[in-house]
A and B are shown apart, each in its own frame.
Chain A
Amino acid sequence: MPGLNCSEEKLFCPKPDKTASKVTKNPFEPKFGGRTSSVVEITGKTGNEQQFNMGGEISSISANVFTEIPLNQKGSILFAARRSFTEIIKSQLYQDIFDMAGNEKPAAQGNLSGRRNSNQNAEPVFHFYDLNLKGTWKPSEKDVISVSFYAGKDKLDNTIDRQSTGRFMQGSGSYFNVNTTDLTQWGNWGVSAKWGRKLNARLYSNSVLSFSNFFSDRDRATTIFKSDSEQDQQNFGIIQNNNVDELSFRNDWEYELNTSHRLGFGVNILRNRISFNNEVNDSSAFQIDNEGIVSTAYAQDKWALSKKLKLIGGLRLTFFDQTEQFYLEPRIQALYQLTASLTIKGAWGTYNQFINRSVQEDIQNGSQEIWLLSDNKLIPVQNATHYILGVSYDVQNWLFDIEAYYKDMQGLSELNTRIGSRQNNPDGQQDIYANSFFEGTGYSKGIEFLIQRKIGKYTGWIGYTLSKVIHSFPDISEENFPALHDQTHELKLVNCYEWRRWSFAATFIYGAGKPYTAPEGGYYLNLPDGTRKYYITIGEKNASRLPDYNRLDLSATYNFKLGKAPASFGLSVFNVYNRSNIWYKDYTIDTQNEIFEAVDVTYLGVTPSLFFSVRLK
């Protein structure tokens, strides 16, 4: 599902007992498609059919509730809702508590003196909610019917207000005020109806009719007020809307031919409608609204050639009406069990993606990814070929896993008005955008290591990934450059320890800095008409790196019973050492090139939270 996002990662990721979501990385089997890297399969937990249950948890930054209602032992209804209220972190009460604890005032508001180019920190305020509702009914022993609804929304407020005194080009003793209102909200909602039928002991089918919507809206407005020899106010801003609708019907079959073969086949027809609107400085600069139908049939076999060798292979054939072309995707995975503990695995496959995740370069406001429908004109169909080789060692309570991968990518897309505006002498902004879509290729490669302790009082895992993602867009840069999400090192340490009624958890996350394109320098130039202005130069594409990301989260939970109801309370601290992890760099440049503001927009700082939860069963 495009844009599925866990705000601030671990804090509010879906809990497995509320929503069973499964991220399937490559190689995923031919049953799945439409993505070149991974798919998220959200099935949703089925409610308890035997007993009524309800519960909830409240903490100083979020709350959630759930209930499970049995339906005459033939079905159930499950409802779960969560809501964070991290916006109180920026409230005065919370800030007072922080100040008492010795934390400094957030830097989003402040004064500077004597500087034209300033560099500050700003921490956005955000909150989110989501709802899950699932009804399940079993009219017979062979049939299961379920209806699901999901909705979730994130809101982010990155408003920055600064007042500075300084010198401008022509004067002295002047001041300026830069106010940026930057509101972003994104989310998705979806509804689905599913009918599962077991025709006999060997044949199953699932039919799903669903509709989902993803949206991402940004409203950013900057006002610069300058008071010099005379007063001057400049207003500029952007409004962006990206909307992805998907109406889908899929019919999957699974047939156990014998103990060696499990066949799978099915069809999937989906209609995508995707719009992207980009208004700049109150003018409708660019609007794209595309609709396309993707029709797919697949067949696969999970084949046990011997006790040691298993193959999963198949074909996926897709027709995309926008390009009027067929796309064939052969895929195969092999698992060979060398010993009872040691398994070698390998995979190869091709994957196509018709909803292109394009990069929109925005040096000043942070580059981002947008979803656009491939149209055979501006937006290409993405394609990837994967090669994977790995080995896993599973012994007693431990799992050791190493996997190396290489991915060859075509049909990458980038919207880059910085380069596009050089392509011609446009009469209007629409022309700038028409010339600003670029097509590229790339590759990614890496090695993933995992050590996991699965059972016992102490559980946890260490995951480390060494990787490289390189893009090639000859019309943007003569040299290949690292992709926006290129992260050379990524390390996660997850530790859980049970002691009597206590549960302790410690998680450490480290990620090498991600690349970005930065202003490089500045210079004066006089024009023959007497104009003298300061101009900014831009560095090489994605040649700068943000500082490394790292943080430590700790929690302690005490489990007890309120009467017969299981309950717990505890303390969690997010980002224990209050690391200022930079999300992106924000640059403001006024229309007269006199003021340059650089702001480091950071992720959430140290966030302690007390929590209490209780459930009936």
Chain B
Amino acid sequence: MNALKFFMIIFLLECLIYSCEESDSSQEFVPKPVVEGYLYEGTPVRNLKISELVKFDEVNDFGEKLISGLDIKIRIDHAEYPLYENPDHPGYYGTENDDLILQPAQNIEFSFLFNSTNVSASTRVPSKPLNLSISDAVKYISPIQSYWDLQQLAEISVQVRWTNDDHSYYYISVKNIETNPQTLDPEDLLPDLGNSFDIPPLATDFSNIFFNKIQYYGRYMVVVSKVNAEYTAIYQSQNQDSRTLTELASNIENGYGIFTALAADTVYFEIKEP
């Protein structure tokens, strides 16, 4: 009977101890900074945005936790400069001197301390696309009256070319630059395509801009940007869905986000009515 009592006492004690509900022992959340830094050849360092990772359980609103008061240093080749926070936009940092223009082949590195951890990243300023040209400065297109016209439109294109001996990646952005552009779709057969679109980074020396994405007459600006590997990586990893939950690529040491440099050149074409 003593044994029975012994077991029952232990049993009841265990029940009392463990019947209480408790939450998961999730890993300790360590706040990390998120860096958004796009540097453009021929311009100074502006708008390096630093925000803070939001804990997953608190991802309930759409606010950003921008980080103010950081002591950020930027190293251009071997010279170091401080970055200053924009007083009108807390969390955005840039060089004080607008004469500090980024040049091709410069190595750029930033670093700062966040919660006693050094956060850093580096990139290299690329050169502008060489020998950039466009096949047609003007294209004549009649207004779209039917679905047959739409099919014809999809086969029209202009080609942008450049020199790419080292198989670098180039990213293309096409935008209508008219203030009040006239539609080439008076019958409203097309969905709303907007006045701009992009072509993902490709390691080619040409790109065909097909007109099935174009909705307006007028002048178009084609910006061809030479991009670095870190930008290509982030572009290719940006889809998170049920297929496989992957993280966005990042080149930030001890943080998230991107720090990269681009160099762009521009060509133009125009679409007119015949």
Contacts and interface: CB of A to CB of B under 8 A. Distances in A.
Nearest to B257: A525
B56 to A, nearest CB: 4
Contacts of A593: 240
Interface in B47-69: 51-62, 64
B245 A363 contact: yes
How big is the A interface, by class?
35 or more
A533 interface: yes
Nearest to A365: B242
| Most chain A C-beta atoms within 10 Å of own C-beta, residue among B19, B23, B238, B245 | B245
A445 interface: no
B198 A529 contact: yes
B210 interface: no
Given A518-B27, A523-B51, A508 B22 contact: no
Interface string A492-509: 010101000000001010
Given A508-B11, A544-B27, A237 B257 contact: no
A537 B249 CA distance: 10
A544 B243 contact: no
B244 A421 contact: yes
Contact of B241 (A115, A458, A529, A589): A589
Interface stretch (A294-302, A332-340, A575-583): A575-583
Given A222-B242, A418-B245, A521-B54, A528 B262 contact: yes
Contacts of B245: 363-364, 418, 519, 536, 538, 587, 589
A350 to B, nearest CB: 35
Contact of B59 (A222, A493, A596): A596
Interface string B1-45: 001100110110011001101111111010010101010000000
A531 B262 CA distance: 17
Contacts of B235: 527
Contacts of B243: 236, 280-281, 285, 417, 429
A521 B56 contact: yes
Contact of B238 (A280, A508, A531): A531
Contacts of A458: 3-4, 7
Contact of A520 (B4, B29, B237): B29
Contact of A236 (B21, B55, B241): B241
Contact of A524 (B51, B238, B242): B51
B158 interface: no
B228 interface: no
Given A529-B173, A537-B256, A418 B244 contact: yes
Given A523-B51, A525-B36, A535 B262 contact: no
A510 B14 CA distance: 9
Nearest to B4: A458
A16 B249 CA distance: 55
B239 interface: yes
Contact of A528 (B4, B32, B34, B171): B171
A591 interface: yes
A511 B257 CA distance: 39
Contacts of A529: 171, 173, 198
Contacts of A398: 3
Interface string B68-93: 00000000000000000000000000
Contacts of B10: 462, 493
A522 B54 contact: yes
B24 A510 contact: no
B62 A169 contact: yes
Contacts of A462: 7, 10
Contact of B25 (A417, A520, A524, A544): A544
Given A116-B60, A523-B256, A544-B24, A417 B29 contact: no
Of the listed residues A363, A432, A458, the one surrounded by the most CB atoms of chain B closer than 10 A to its CB is A458
A526 B21 CA distance: 41
B5 to A, nearest CB: 10
B224 interface: no
A579 B17 CA distance: 13
Interface string A228-249: 0000000011100000000000
A588 B258 CA distance: 26
Contacts of B14: 491, 493, 508, 510
B229 to A, nearest CB: 11
B24 A546 contact: yes
B25 A513 contact: yes
A539 B27 contact: yes
B236 interface: yes
A117 B34 contact: no
A547 interface: yes
Given A364-B242, A548-B18, A521 B29 contact: yes
Given A524-B64, A537-B256, A589-B242, A552 B53 contact: no
A280 B244 CA distance: 9
B246 interface: yes
Interface string A378-405: 0000000000000000000010000000
Contacts of A547: 21-25
Contacts of A589: 240-242, 245
Contacts of A548: 18, 22
B225 interface: yes
Contacts of B141: none
Contact of B19 (A531, A544, A579): A579
Contacts of B60: 115-117
Interface in A533-568: 533-540, 543-548, 550, 552
A550 B18 contact: yes
A537 B258 CA distance: 14
Contacts of A285: 243
Tell me which of B24, B56, B231, B239 has the highest count of chain A C-beta atoms within 10 A of its own C-beta: B56
A111 interface: no
B11 A119 contact: no
A545 B54 contact: no
A417 B244 contact: yes
A422 interface: yes
A167 interface: yes
Interface in B143-190: 171, 173
B248 interface: yes
16 contacts: A116-B61, A117-B57, A169-B62, A236-B241, A238-B242, A281-B242, A417-B246, A421-B244, A508-B14, A523-B54, A534-B59, A537-B53, A544-B25, A545-B26, A547-B23, A590-B241
Interface of B: 3-4, 7-8, 10-11, 14-15, 18-19, 21-27, 29, 32, 34, 36, 38, 51-62, 64, 171, 173, 196, 198, 225, 231, 234-249, 256-258, 262
Q: What 4 A-B pairs come out closest when comparing CB atoms?
A: A543-B27, A417-B244, A521-B53, A550-B18
Given A493-B10, A533-B238, A580-B21, 6 more contacts: A520-B27, A521-B56, A523-B256, A528-B231, A538-B245, A544-B26
